[in-house]
Copies of this chain bind each other. A is one copy, B any other.
Amino acid sequence: MSTVEELKLRVRELENELIRCRQKCSGAEQPVREKIHTMSSEVVDSNPYSRLMALKRMGIVQDYEKIRSYTVAVVGVGGVGSVTAEMLTRCGIGKLLLFDYDRVELANMNRLFFQPHQAGMSKVEAAEHTLRNINPDVTFETHDYNITTLDNFNHFMERISHGGLEEGSPVDLILSCVDNFEARIAINTACNELGQVWMESGVSENAVSGHIQLIIPGETACFSCAPPLVVAANIDEKTLKREGVCAASLPTTMGVVAGILVQNVLKYLLKFGVVSHYLGYNAMQDFFPKMSMRPNPHCDHSHCRRQQDEYQRREAEQPREEVVEVEEEVVHEENDWGIEVVSEVTEEELKESSGPVPDLPEGITVAYTLPAQKDSAEGAMVQETDESLEELMARMKQI
């Protein structure tokens, strides 16, 4: 029979063990470190920002603290999106909005971020939990829904227009980390309508190539202007699974794509280095094609054409010299796609620094074919994908 003293000792032991478990456990409800109100450059072991603030002393970033004033929306919290969100969290971004409707499965464990004990949880909930523990200074807002349904799309539009760090202000950037065509089209539609800058990312079904792309509505090609060379599994994985097959994926390729995506985000937001318009990654050859694409003046998407008009008007208000330059680069009449390689550097420099223009090397595949060819009332501007891509490549090579 236990005495009162023995029981009291046991209670104290258990209480201490529980405290230790909660401290040790990333699942503890309390954040493990206190919030930090001002980013400091102080070089002490307890400062989670010292290595980031060192970018200022190194002459890379002028005002690193500004990261805290930005809001980024990540759509798709899978293999690329989760790592993207983690990198931004560790960099000390101001606010993250996470959108996903999927659950964590053991089948996701071949990619970074999620852990087996989270199987069954919603991806946004599991992600928020882990990220909040990593950096309690970040503000999180999560939405466990599919943005492609009408109601959710309207809510998505509302949140990206008003969900900034200061409620009511728009987000600064949207990152597409989704794995299907419909979701990309939804993001493209929202961003064209709002004139919202976003970045696309994708990984091929065979897991050995990927890309990132910067889309500035009206200024660079939107997702409807031209198909990207590489996108993730076009067919919903759910459909594939029913047939007993699934897309391949690797933590390496997805980690590289998330890394180059968030690097591009940091360069864009904090204004350093050269922000890439399109950067591909072919893992088989370690080949990284780079290019820029102008918007298609005949783009299907009316808001894209409107953004193009507005961009042209803004450009026309610039000093005369620049206007001339723009006119010189006008799209050739025979260019069915209305796409051309745009370079801020000379063609020689581009060749020097970018490697060759891609001619669909092994591992890069066209992920989908375009909708059936249009009635040529407006002029046949859309041809079969295969042929047009070859033509595009041929033209690019001639430049």
A residues near B (Cβ < 8 Å) are 2-4, 7-8, 10-11, 14-15, 17-18, 21-28, 31-33, 42-52, 54-55, 57-60, 83, 86-87, 90-92, 105-107, 109-112, 115-117, 119, 130, 133-135, 205-208, 240-241, 244-253, 255-256, 258-260, 262-264, 266-267, 272-274, 276, 279, 283-288, 290, 352-356, 361
Contact = CB atoms under 8 A, between A and B. Distances in A.
Given A22-B21, A286-B274, A51 B87 contact: no
B25 A245 contact: no
A117 B32 contact: yes
Given A111-B90, A252-B87, A286 B262 contact: no
Contact of A109 (B2, B48, B115, B353): B48
Given A4-B4, A106-B33, A54 B354 contact: no
7 contacts: A10-B11, A52-B250, A58-B205, A112-B112, A252-B262, A288-B288, A354-B355
B21 A11 contact: no
B246 A54 contact: yes
Q: How many copies of the shown chain assemble into the complex?
A: 2
Most buried by B among A47, A208, A290: A208
A245 B53 CA distance: 10
Contacts of A115: 26, 32, 130, 133-134
A99 to B, nearest CB: 21
A248 to B, nearest CB: 4
B251 A262 contact: yes
Contact of A252 (B57, B92, B252, B259): B259
A256 B260 contact: yes
Given A14-B15, A110-B49, A25 B32 contact: no
Nearest to A361: B353
A60 B285 CA distance: 13
Contacts of A32: 115-117, 119
A290 B356 CA distance: 14
A251 B87 contact: yes
A263 to B, nearest CB: 4
